[in-house]
Chains A and B, each alone.
Chain A
Amino acid sequence: MNTSKILRSVVQALLAPLIAVVVSMAVTSIVVVVAGASVGDFWDVIFKVPSHRNLVNITNQSALIFLAALAAAIGFRMNLFNIGIEGQYTLAAYTAALVAGQAWFPGKVNILVALLVAMAVGAAWAGIAGVLKVTRGVSEVISTIMLNAIAGTVVGYLLSNHGQQYGQGRRTTPIPESSQLAGWTPWKESDGAIWTLVILAVLAGVTISFLINRTRFGFDLRATGTNEDAAVVSGVEVKKMVVISMLISGAIAGLIWMPALFGGADYYGPPFQRTLGFTGIAVALLGRNRPLGIFFGAVLFAWLSEQANPLALVADISPSIVQITQGVVVLAVVVAYEVVRRWTAAYEQRELKAALDREAVSA
């Protein structure tokens, strides 16, 4: 009995993501056919056994995407749609790179200071939206989108007016060698290194998981997200919660690009990776805002993007096509969870009815 129960709950947990993946694969295949390319070639490339170099890149990218999704998930857990991760991490990455480049502190202390600056800037930028919401009733969806645009413009202005000339572009002063982290090279040097600060993703995941599931704050957060009125009645200060959640969300967002900055980029400039903030929102939805779910979502997205790279080379398909796979999987997972939830509810109701009938007969 017990094992069958466990089995059933495992099936229930896996069913929705499985359906979503199958549906998105089907849709992608159709798009590939419509685009006039070979479906077989396409999936061969995507499911090819990754090389050592691919594995390193997938690990690194997963960490960045995980951090972005975690930042989004904290807000989502209490119905706070922080769409502004993009602006928060852009501004934070620029400021941290700027501070680290000044080398005010020696070696590793410099890194620590830069990380704190990144978190503070991300938190402050998200905090603006939080304060606007609780004091003026501005929807955080609107304000964070606006703040994204402002962050992009501010960084661009500062970079082109105060940045270091760098070919046709500009960058911040590179961070000193003593503050660069070599990373871990599991294979050959040319296969690349796993960034040291990938550990930030693990730490943030564990911390947030604990915070949400094991603390009073986390309980209030979940309560507000589930039923705001009930939470207010039971004494939760919703306004305070909104501001704090935005601050935490922004602080995590500030960390997103830090592994790359200290792991090899060395400055903010052309190699800065954009759009992670939006990828994070999609992955948070995919992972149902749970750190473990987000982890699998992040790996899936990183895998798809990395494996898709040689598509144009090998199969003459634009690698942009995996963005469709990624989009559909998010949509499909939302629908699939609802479908599975209804199935489960109906099944449980039948079970309950059967049990009651049995009791009625024996009585």
Chain B
Amino acid sequence: MRRLSKISVVAVVALIALTGCGNKTDNKNDKTGSTANADVCKTAKGNGPKVGLAYDVGGRGDQSFNDSAYAGLKKAVGDLKATCVEGEATDGEAESARESRLKDMADAGMNPIIGVGFAYSDAVNAVAPNYPDISFGVIDGFDPDQTANKNVAYLGFAENEGSYLVGVAAALKSKAGHIGFVGGVHNDLIKKFEAGYVAGAKATKPDIKVDVKYIQESDLKGFGDPAGGQEAATAEFDNGADVVYHASGASGSGVFDAAVSAGDGKWAIGVDSDQYLTASDAQKPHILTSMLKRVDVATYDMIKSVADGSPLTSYQTYDLKKDGVGYAKSGGFVDDIASKIDEAATKIKSGEIKVPDKP
């Protein structure tokens, strides 16, 4: 009997694990079904730069970060006659796997090679010195050691500035004077989103209440956990918040579902890309706006700089001034307050408002 119960527990665990795999396969199928034929790298035949794009976990088709990089690549294929190859990270892969991916691309003669996501920082630092003639770019990246790499550009974003704008929007739309924030993982990057959002909201309504929740303390699975996102957002809605902003990657769909369940007048704010466009019909009426992180702009810029013969190097910050961050207007829910948001944007650009990057 005890053995039987043990076996059933193991079976349940296995089932949960396999369901996870199943979902992944489904995504892959969807992806291949809908966009594989449209993959520009298959058809691109220009004589422009040869681009190697190494995606983070999720790859092309994640409707967020990676897809945004792909959009930049697609633009480069169109405007600069670029050709390209793509690589994709798997969950829980070894550091050596990331390095191998970059080396494979370098050996195949790609230039530039762009790693999508800060997880490529160490790998690029290890690989770049061996290929001094190739330019590397790392989205959200940084140089891990003291020796500067002459052929690497670290493409960062002022997420706090973009978050400030959606914080303004949240405060203006909130009837309860109470809003929420859901972060995927409690790390310094996501704290930057929180800091900007809270600052924007408080600057608009000084007495506003902001609930802050994180799905995971350090485990990166907080960016791929819709159930966790829904739980956190539901708690904030139940607590009285009527607008919730998420910075939690793929967990965000759970936050949108929570807004749907919470009913009319409850809003969610998307992140990275214009999430109104990829949301389901039920979710759309609840997506107030999205904080845009223009990974496509940075990706395109990097490719263009190589095509122009003056590759980007060192730290590059994509802020409001460079159109690296912003907010989305799809759905038309912020049209009535757009002038006030834009006013804040102008003040940030002029330096009149300094947005904090730590909560």
Contacts and interface: CB of A to CB of B under 8 A. Distances in A.
Interface of A: 31, 34-37, 53-54, 57, 60-61, 64, 79, 81, 83, 139, 141-142, 145, 152-153, 155-157, 159-160, 165-170, 190, 192, 260, 264-265, 270-271, 273-276, 278-279, 305-306, 308-310, 312-313, 316, 318-321, 323-324, 327
Contacts of A275: 91-92
Nearest to B127: A190
Nearest to A322: B90
B324 interface: no
A278 B17 contact: yes
B277 to A, nearest CB: 23
B97 A170 contact: no
B119 interface: yes
A319 B236 CA distance: 38
Interface string B192-222: 0000000000000000000000001111100
A192 B96 contact: yes
A81 B14 CA distance: 13
A301 to B, nearest CB: 12
B9 interface: yes
A157 B55 CA distance: 28
Interface string B79-116: 00000011110111111110111011100100000000
Given A142-B9, A270-B119, A324-B25, A57 B96 contact: yes
A327 B21 contact: yes
16 contacts: A35-B25, A35-B29, A35-B32, A54-B100, A64-B94, A145-B13, A152-B216, A156-B218, A166-B142, A166-B144, A169-B188, A169-B189, A270-B118, A270-B121, A274-B92, A323-B21
A313 B86 contact: yes
B59 interface: yes
Nearest to A192: B96
Contact of B3 (A61, A79, A152, A323): A79
B95 A273 contact: yes
B130 interface: yes
Contacts, number: 162
B218 A155 contact: yes
B36 A36 contact: yes
A53 B219 CA distance: 29
A78 to B, nearest CB: 12
B216 A324 contact: no
Contacts of B104: 309-310, 313
Given A83-B13, A276-B92, A324-B25, A167 B218 contact: no
B219 A152 contact: yes
Contacts of A169: 118, 187-189
Give the interface centre of A31, A152, A156 by most chain B CB atoms within 10 Å: A156
A192 B144 CA distance: 19
Contacts of B176: none
B353 interface: no
B18 interface: yes
A168 B118 contact: yes
Contacts of A157: 217-218
B97 A309 contact: yes
B323 interface: no
B39 interface: yes
